[in-house]
Homo-oligomer: A and B are copies of this chain.
Amino acid sequence: MPLDLAAVRAAHARIRPHIRRTPVLTNAALDAAAGGALFFKCENFQETGAFKARGATNAVFSLTAAEAARGVATHSSGNHAAALARAARLRGIPAYIVMPSNSAQTKIRNVEAWGGRITLCAPTQQAREETCARVVAETGAAMIHPFTDERVMAGQGTAVLELLEELPDLDVILCPVGGGGLLAGTAIAAKALRPAIQVIAVEPAAAGDAARSFQAGHIIPLDHAATIADGLRTTVGVPNFAVMQRLVDGVITVSEESIVTAMRQLWDTLKIVVEPSGAVPYAAVLAGKLPLPGQRVGLILTGGNVDLDALPWIRR
């Protein structure tokens, strides 16, 4: 099945019983400060606290009974892990999860709560992939990659599908980019539904591989990602980059300071808990990195899984 709007629609039909249709929040004060109209798609309210429930659920429920019987496996810093564990539990199959040892405590607990079987590994891309390959070899589980899997990408695209159903006249979508699963699904759905829309990727400058790769025309891997936005510490995937080159209009990078300021301002004003990765699109607005006047801008608030004991604006 090609990765297109039809695939995103099929994913939505498949996962709808298992996920939340998340609300879209607006705020007059934030609009006035930005000089545009901002629409926050609240995936922090999604099951497991992040949009990742969409892609993982689509992947798990796309498996044949024979495939599903041996379970699923993945590596993830947390949100995809919890989402896959939950989807597997809903289908009644095991989930084998490889997590870097520096994952946030709240994310590890989240996976455990859904019954995921966790293997910790060193916090490098290579260790994640090797450990996961070993787990797959041992169990026969179906590998569900957190962002290069097409079923995952199609599932992630369902967030913007809902957003554009409610607000068909948006001018811009701001979407965080880490591995590029959400970005690919978003770009495919948004551009098919509304060709004139601008899809802008946003990432931390401290994990700025997507911006560098986009400019260079080929992937320049991240060797080091010292960003607070723990969901965005990965290099963009190969199929994700291909979609990005074809459909994404630009990549903006934001500072660590602006991410923390954005996160705090969203908590203070919208009264919602957003994780650093989720605040990245709003950081681009705050930093004045967009020609916003009068534009209608959709921002995907990707998740809300934060360690409440370690908030970045509080020095201990």
Could you tell me which A residues sit within 8 Å of B by CB distance? Answer: 23, 25, 44-45, 49, 106, 264, 267-268, 270-274, 304, 308-309, 311, 313-314, 316
B residues less than 8 Å from A311 (CB atoms): 308, 311, 314
Copies of this protein in the complex = 2
B residues less than 8 Å from A304 (CB atoms): 271
B residues less than 8 Å from A49 (CB atoms): 271
A237 → chain B closest CB, angstroms:
27
Judging by beta carbons under 8 Å apart, are B313 and A314 in contact?
no
A264 to B106, CA, bound (A): 13
Judging by beta carbons under 8 Å apart, are A45 and B273 in contact?
no
A69 → chain B closest CB, angstroms:
26
Q: A23-B23, A316-B314, A316-B316 are in contact. Are A308 and B271 (CB under 8 A)?
A: no
Closest B residue by C-beta to A113: B29
14 contacting pairs across A/B (C-beta < 8 A): A23-B23, A44-B271, A268-B273, A268-B308, A271-B272, A272-B273, A273-B273, A308-B311, A308-B313, A309-B314, A311-B314, A314-B314, A314-B316, A316-B316
Judging by beta carbons under 8 Å apart, are B273 and A271 in contact?
yes
A294 → chain B closest CB, angstroms:
24
A300 → chain B closest CB, angstroms:
15
Judging by beta carbons under 8 Å apart, are A267 and B273 in contact?
yes
A45 to B106, CA, bound (A): 25
Q: A264-B308, A273-B273, A314-B314 are in contact. List 10 more A-B contacts (CB 8 A).
A: A23-B23, A25-B45, A49-B271, A268-B308, A271-B273, A271-B274, A272-B273, A308-B311, A308-B313, A314-B316
Closest B residue by C-beta to A305: B271
B residues less than 8 Å from A272 (CB atoms): 271-273
A111 → chain B closest CB, angstroms:
14
A308 to B45, CA, bound (A): 20
Closest B residue by C-beta to A269: B49
Closest B residue by C-beta to A264: B308
Judging by beta carbons under 8 Å apart, are B271 and A45 in contact?
yes
A282 → chain B closest CB, angstroms:
16
A311 to B309, CA, bound (A): 9
A313 → chain B closest CB, angstroms:
7
B residues less than 8 Å from A268 (CB atoms): 106, 273, 308
B residues less than 8 Å from A23 (CB atoms): 23
B residues less than 8 Å from A314 (CB atoms): 309, 311, 314, 316
